[in-house]
Each structure stands twice: as C-alpha cells, then as structure tokens.
Structure 1
Amino acid sequence: MNVISSIKPSALAVDSVSHAYGSRRVLHGVSLTVPQGQFTAVLGLNGAGKTTLLSLITRLFDTQSGTISVFGHRIDRAPGEALRRLGVVFQARTLDLDLSVMDNLLFHAALHGIGGGEARRRAETVLTDVDLLERRRDKARNLSGGQMRRVEIARALLHEPRLLVLDEPTVGLDIASKLTIVRHVRRLVRERGVGVLWTTHLLDEVEPDDNVLILHQGSALAHGVTAEVVAASGAETLRAAFAGMTESA
C-alpha cells in the first residue's frame, strides 16, 4: 500500500531490493524513499528485515537485486560518492571504549580525510550540539548508554552528511535518554534539513507527519505519511493499523 509520492528531493531511493542469506530470503522487493529534510521511520517487529535493509544501504552487504541510491548516486556504481553523503549509527555500540570521546571523533574524522584543527573544530561543534563537550576528555567506557549513543550521533555528523541512518538507536536506553536522542535527531531534520532514516519496533517513536515504511517478514506492507497510512488502512491509530497489517500478512 503506497499512499504518498513525496515532492521533496530524494535523499535515499531504494527500488525493488531483495536479499537472501543462502536459500532464506529476508527481503522481498522492498522500495523506499527518504525525502530530504524529513524523518522517515522503518517500522517493524524484530526479524522484519530492518537491519538487513540498513546493511544494504550502508554497503555492509552487496545489493543482490534492485538498486539503492543516495542523492542520485547508486551505491553499487559510485559507492564513494554515495557513502560520503551518508552518516550511520549502528544498533551495536561502535565506540572504542579505551579512547577518549574526542579521540573517537578525531579517528573517525581522519577516516574521512579531515585532519588537524578542522577535525577538532568539527568535533567540538558536534559535541556541543549533543551537550557533551565537557566530557570530551573522558574515556568512552565512562559514559552512560545514552551518552554513548549521543557521541555516536555526533561522530556520524562529523563529515557533514545530508542523510543520517540510525538502526534502532534507542534500544536499551532509559526513557529520559531515549527522549533526548529522539528530540535531537528531529531537531536535525527541522533546523538543518537532514534526511533521516530511523528503524524501530517502537510505535511511539513515529509521529503522524513522519514518512513511514511498515516492514513485515521482509515485505513492505505500506509506505507514506503516517497519518495517511493509518487512514488508508481503515484504522484509527498507528498501533491498530500496524496490528491489522502484520496479523493478516
């Protein structure tokens, strides 16, 4: 059920992507558009295929079928051009726990060819944005789970991408940390025009004017503005629409 065709420029275009691990197919012709400057949520239960989809988008896996483009650059044909426009926050923690917060960011900056004073300036800016500049000399292992996640978001923004991809970023966080993360990412969309792809199994993280893809057992059941997806399903709430779609699929 596709209920929207966005008029905003496309930050990410996934077209008819399928993927299998051996004989087990986990994605079935999934298509998705992430408009620039909009929050897009991929909503699905555990095992729906969300992480596999993000692994293809970030090129951890090669695309087997279909195409994926970031700002018009296909990741299979121009991976460098595509990936430099992309910032990623993986579900698993990826900070080096024995390095300081600043050194984690400077190492990432160096990987993107950003060095010296420019790298430190950018690191201080993004740490200020996530309210962690005063922790820059602390080892990463001394941060809370929510603080680690905020550092990972800051790190993903160091090379100034226009598309931010986050895989279940609030898993394992307390309510206060979760709200801080969600609000910060939504502010990036609102104030900086960053396109965001956010995977989750938590319905309360999706708002009525978000762009949403409902993914279930590797298939896209609906894609569009949340309120319109709900209306098209005949349900009154996203929870009811999601339950109706996934239970009947």
Structure 2
Amino acid sequence: MIEVSGLSHHYGSRCALSDLSLTLGRGLHMLLGPNGAGKSTLFSLLTRLSPIQQGDIALLGEVPSRQTMAKLGMVFQQSTLDLDLTVGQNLSYYGALHGYSKKHSLEKAAPLLAHFSLTDRINDKVRTLNGGHRRRTELVRSLMHSPSILLLDEPTSGLDPKARASLSDAVRSLCEQQPLCVLWATHLIEEVDDNDDVLILHRGTLRAHNKASELRALHQHPTLAKVFATLTSDNEGENR
C-alpha cells in the first residue's frame, strides 16, 4: 500500500532522508526513531505537504494524486482540532471537506465514536476533553472517509501511560477489523509489541525493518531497547 524508493530530502545542507526505500502492506507498522531521525519529514512527503526532491513514492500502487490522497488519513503530532467546537461539530466540518452532509458525517462517525468510546462526548466542546479523548477524536476524524492508509505522527505525544496504552489498544483492534495500512511514528519503544512490524530510522536512513522479535534474535539482544540503542548509536559497528 505504501512504496518508497530511493527517497532523499535535504533542508539546505542538512540531510533529513537518505536513499530511503520501503514497502508496507496491510497491518500496523511501527516507525521507531529518535527525535530528528526523519520521521516527520517522511510523513510530510507521503502527504504531499513537501515536494519530493529525489526518489519515488507510490500509494495504493499509484503516484500520489488528489484521488489517492483521498484514501489517506492523517493524525499530526500537533492537534488540529478546533477547541471551541464540539466533537460533533469538528467531525461535521471535516466531513464537509469530503462532500458529506452533516447527517452523513455523523452517520459515518457513529461506529468510530463507539469504537473509541466517545459516543457520549459528541456534544462536548473539545476544550473540555482530556488529552486522550482529544487524540481519539482526531483518530475518528481521520477515519471518517474510510481511508486505506492511516499515518500517525507521534499520536500519543503528551499522554500519560494509561492513555497511551488505551489509544494503542484501540488502534490495534481497528487494524484487526479493517483492511488498513497504519504507519505509526514514535520514539517510545514501550509502544512496540513483540510481534509488531518495526522500522528503525536514524539520521535519515533505515537501519532495520523486521518484526520486533526477529530484530532481538538477529542482534542477540534481550530487549528491543538494546537493539534500538545499538542501531542508533554513532558507534554502531563497535557496539555489535
């Protein structure tokens, strides 16, 4: 569903991505990297917020276009909800961007609100919600138009451990129910499960791509944290 080939990107003289190639299909994919690894740059290129300088991107087998972008959902690191509108109003305005009437928007949102335990908050102003509920609202909004690809850029940023775990469980459950390709960017290793597909990005290069359990076995480390530390060390070769 997501194919990237030879992708490189620079900000002036600084290299943000270097010859990045990857192929992702249905399911949950955890993009793990420290701050500044290039995760947000990759998302910016996937969503066409930044122009491609070098390399190629294909979404759903096609060059990104207005039509393919309509099949993509996105939750940004920084919240983009209108705090002074209710949950329902935020969702209705988003639905209108996809040509939905208010009634149709709320019909599309209803099962998602139930999945993310937000049905009883639909008439509450976003300003009154805690961080976890705001993030859940953004997830509902990003899924209303039934995308095939969902990009999550540090979706648990600022949440406490309980809220992070709850959000993670809800997304994982959704992946089991729908034919989604979810790319979840994070720097929090504890958000990764042993059976997750993991991509480790560091200094703009893809250092590893495998199941978390396979990465531990391959590098002969008891924890993914140790694998991550090894692959993102400036002395990687010495640490192996």
Q: TM-score, normalised by structure 1?
A: 0.91
**What's the counterpart of residue 50 of structure 2?**
61
**What's the counterpart of residue 40 of structure 2?**
51
Amino acid at match of 1:22: G
Alignment match of 1:141 (pick from 127, 132, 138): 127
Alignment match of 2:181 (pick from 174, 195, 205): 195
**What's the counterpart of residue 8 of structure 1?**
none
Number of paired residues?
Answer: 235
Is 1:209 the counterpart of 2:195? The answer is yes
Structure 1 residues 182-201: Cα deviation after superposition (integer angstroms, max 9, x where no partner): 00110111121321100011
Shift of 1:117: 2.4
Amino acid at match of 2:12: G
Instruction: Give the Cα–Cα distance (whole angstroms) in 1 for the partners of residues 23 and 127 of structure 2.
Output: 37
Shift of 1:138: 1.1
**What's the counterpart of residue 138 of structure 2?**
152
Cα pair 2:95 2:102 within 8 Å, conserved: no
Amino acid at match of 2:49: L
Is 1:72 the counterpart of 2:68? The answer is no
Is 1:233 the counterpart of 2:219? The answer is yes
Is 1:31 the counterpart of 2:21? The answer is yes
**What's the counterpart of residue 243 of structure 1?**
229
Instruction: Give the Cα–Cα distance (whole angstroms) in 1 for the partners of residues 9 and 207 of structure 2.
Output: 17
Amino acid at match of 1:144: N
Shift of 1:124: 2.2
**What's the counterpart of residue 10 of structure 2?**
20
Instruction: Give the Cα–Cα distance (whole angstroms) in 2 for the partners of residues 178 and 91 of structure 1.
Output: 14
Shift of 1:239: 1.1
Partner of 1:96: helix, strand, or coil?
coil
Shift of 1:151: 0.1
Q: Structure 1: which 5+ runs fail to align?
A: 1-10
Q: Structure 2: which 5+ runs fail to align?
A: none
**Once structures 1 and 2 are overlaid, which stretch shifts more, 213-222 or 236-245?**
236-245
Shift of 1:232: 2.1
Partner of 1:178: helix, strand, or coil?
helix
Instruction: Give the Cα–Cα distance (whole angstroms) in 2 for the partners of residues 34 and 85 of structure 1.
Output: 15
Shift of 1:123: 2.0
Cα pair 2:154 2:186 within 8 Å, conserved: yes
Cα pair 1:105 1:155 within 8 Å, conserved: yes
When the two chains are superposed, the root-mean-square deviation of aligned CA atoms in Å is 1.2
Amino acid at match of 1:66: G
**What's the counterpart of residue 76 of structure 2?**
90
Partner of 1:56: helix, strand, or coil?
helix
Structure 1 residues 122-165: Cα deviation after superposition (integer angstroms, max 9, x where no partner): 12222122111111111111110110000000000000011111
Is 1:126 the counterpart of 2:112? The answer is yes
Shift of 1:51: 0.8
Instruction: Give the Cα–Cα distance (whole angstroms) in 2 for the partners of residues 235 and 101 of structure 1.
Output: 45
Same amino acid, percent of matched pairs:
43
